[in-house]
Structure 1
Amino acid sequence: MPPKRNGEAPRVAVGYTRVSTKREEMISPELQAHEQDTYAERNGIRIVERVEDLDLSGRDFARRSVDYIVKGIIEGRWNVVLLWKWSRWGRNLLQSRLYLAEVEQAGGEVIAVTEDFDTTTSVGKFSRDQMLAIAELQSNQIGENWKEAHERRRRMGLPHNGQFRFGYTYSRGAGYQPDPVSADALADCYKRYVEAGESMRSLTQMLNANGHRTGRGNLFTNISLGRLMDTGFAAGLIREKSNPGGNGNTLAAYDVWRMGVHEPIISMELWEKYREKRLASAETAPRLRSPKHSFSGLVYCPQCKKRMRRTTGGGRNGPHWRCRTRLQNKSCPGASIMDDRLEKIMREWVVENAQGGDTIEEDADRIRAAQKATTNLAACEAEVARLKRKRTRLLDVYTDDESYDKGDYLKKKAEIDRDLERADLTLRAARKRVNEIDTTDYRDIFTTLADLWDNATPSEKRELLSKVVRRIEVRAGTEKRKLSKVNVVPRWMPDPWE
């Protein structure tokens, strides 16, 4: 890391510590913090806050505190993020690079204190990305090892872990044994659902009223009870999917059922009747399908202004997007486009903008306006702070000097209060202006999206696209090769529908 030059702002840091649920290296938070302190002292960095994400995986940023860290940089609370290693930042290369770009865009820098590269150089960025790629590889390998262990346990008739299961007690020696109290309650739920036609809501109320709780000590809900009964564990079964990603965690998703070594508490006949009834009442047919697509929720029909649906029906060669209103009642002229053609058009649009497309380049006024608004906000905040200090000094003088005239004090205080009220109104207007202006630098997002487009999963592409695309409009038309049939509404432009 290059040394601090004269005139640069002081380096103020937040120390970020993460320990995964998998406990990859079993590195304690204390050791990570010690390495951060050592590096900070050696390089003249002051740590003002520590943020810990304990028992959280690096695969997904959604539940972690990275957004809070970026917000701290934007608000000026710190300008450096200290990590123990790059793997603590994340084990998902796509999301790691995206959030690094957000930190740098906000004027901050991220430093891994035991893997310190000068990321202002191309070699340093390459080295950093290599460490992030290795972290992702290690995570994938850990996941594969767990998957193999789970499959081995299922082949032996064992569940994939020894966690609490309602209706049973567990010990290492005896395994799962029916619990005299909760086993009868669970068996009664199956009978009431199948034979008496009682709803999950009714069964949930019965369990909670009788003092039964989940493994975490919480009250049962309709969803938690349904998921518990859908496992088939009470029938002595161990379930699994032939397609691990198919149809979420629903009963229909599990198409492989093995007899376990534990004792069942309901008959196989009762289980089959329960399973048949649950599948029949499901909102969608029990089939395996991909739960998410690259453009889910982004494709619209501009005629009816409704989201379009991705479908494989209609006798076309491959998946395509069709107007939802047209499918339902034919009240809209409708539009459609092949999924692979939309993929090609969007890829070209992303690459064009990553290379400095006209739309992005012509938006320099927005960036300058955002910078001006931010500078004005800082000046307004400084003025409010100055007037508050002035009012405090006036009070100190009045209380310390007994000869100070009370009338003069009240007059000057009233003047300061009026100035402070005006300054506070100006500050509120400045804050509103900053919030209204989009300060995002979309170039970094487009660069990441273009680099990783061909290797990203549909859900990852959808996540990135949602940051730059407000809507993809597909117009009706007969010219199938006409690119103007698709109109992309970017997030940095005003929405004509509003």
Structure 2
Amino acid sequence: MPEFVSSLEFLETLREKFGELNAIIYARQSWEEEGSISTGIQDSGCHDFADKHGINVVETVYDIDLSGGTFDKRKVSEVISRVSDGEANIVLVLYRNRWGRSNQNDAFEAELNRAGGTLISVNNPLDPTSSVGRTGIEVDNFVSVMYRRNISESWRSTHTKRRKDGVPHAGGIRFGYQGCPDCVKEEFVTASGRKRKRFVKCPECRVRKTPRPQTPDPVTGKALNEFAVRWTRGGEKGRALAAEMYEREIRSARGNRMAANQWLQVLDTGFAFGFLRSRKVPIGTKGMPVLYSGNRIDQFDVWERGAHKPAIKDPSLWEEYKAKRGLSVGTQPPHGNAKYPLVGWLKCGHPVEDEAGNPVPDADGRVKLCMRPMYKKYVYNTKTRKVDGKRVKVTEIIDIYFCGGTQSIPKECKGVNITLTRADALTLEWLQERARGEGALPEEVERLTRSRRKAKQASEQEEKVQKLMGQLKQLTADKSAGIISPLAYKLTAPDLEANLVAAEKMLEQFQKEARYEEAPAPTAFLSIAGMWADASDEEKRLLLGPVLGYVIAHKTPGRLPTRLEFVPRWLAAGRPAA
């Protein structure tokens, strides 16, 4: 492969054009494994490049657990929209394959260029305005696409072979089971510094094309059977059972505490009952509609006996378990709503810190915030109380929201916690403030201005979409009429289709941001506040849906309680929480 020498002279050209270079860092990680590049390493590498070349970093946008093979569900279109707003003129990625690994890479980069932005790969910063630089970029994109195709084909073949042999397609050791007794478990460190454990295969397993069937673990397998019996037939609460298992030192495969929902998710797979589950139409099958909405029992329509021995040997327990879960195959309507009032809206507002523990400023000189999603969990709080004249330790279970960045090793964020009770009370206070009409006028002016700007961009983008659709339709008609050969069509159509996908994605983004809905009257908030106390968690989410954009949990000094900042939906629409 030819080597392309990076030249940074084009940065000075950009500086002359814009006066000041402002960048949004884009960090994507499909999954974490040995050799995988964490978002932390990507963020750090891009910041080092920006500091070295005098580029202001506006924000880092993360896409976690999302493949580069498609631009669906990713935040690329949001980043391009923010560039079009003038927030930034550069998008930094550590490697070009972080932007994507599909034939749509060029199309989305072209949308970025039209918005006034430039994509720069820190590892190989080629000049996109020169012929040599563009050739190097095309080679990078081609290698990324070919790498993804080769990996996909290899894994599809492996998964098919494993399913045929009655073993899990992913190959990992399931909870409640153990692998080959001759294989050794060793510890290794991932690229992001996290400690993980893996099995080193014995000589016999190295030559086997399919892993040996797993066997029930004498400790965790027995505990899994006990949990299933006591929860299904004994009527015991999952939380209490999970707490008891933790006290008995039953841990997950990674050595972590297992919550009640994690025990139930293990049972939902049916593996402990002797089954392997799959779908008739795998998710992502080209040309097929999405038939499944999650990983619940009812979202799998193929259940086959595996080659492994069941850890739970009573066959009637499986049917009883499904009935109690209310998830008998094919009977449960799909719904993916979160269970707790602020999950999905609540963001961590802990300051981002450097290695010395000092707050990192953003492009405007303000303290940069973590902004990772916060989730719900329960913690154990042990207090000493007097019972019958004696001092005894009493353990309480408290529900809290916590930052997902606190669960990584090493921690990516120190985190902010807040109890569900306090968050609920602060939400009611915010609703009551809005009911009094506080701060409505400045918000309305800002929202209207932005809406009009995005409506204009949407109109221009719609013209482009119609033009591309016309070109693709004409190309298809020319092939049918014999004006162009099938080979010429095959060489031309993919680029047009990729450009159309990118244009439609940007149109969707602009239309979403252009929606202008009049802010609810104060009486609407008064009505929600009046129903709040008696509403269930699910009802509270339904009440908040029309009015809430996102919430930031801010760290406070000393032992002061966590503060929540509420952002209305009409100010947050189409824009990342930042």
TM-score normalized by the length of structure 1: 0.49
Name the structure with the higher helix share: 1
Larger radius of gyration: 1
Quick one: higher RCO (CA 8 Å, sep 6+), 1 or 2?
Answer: 2
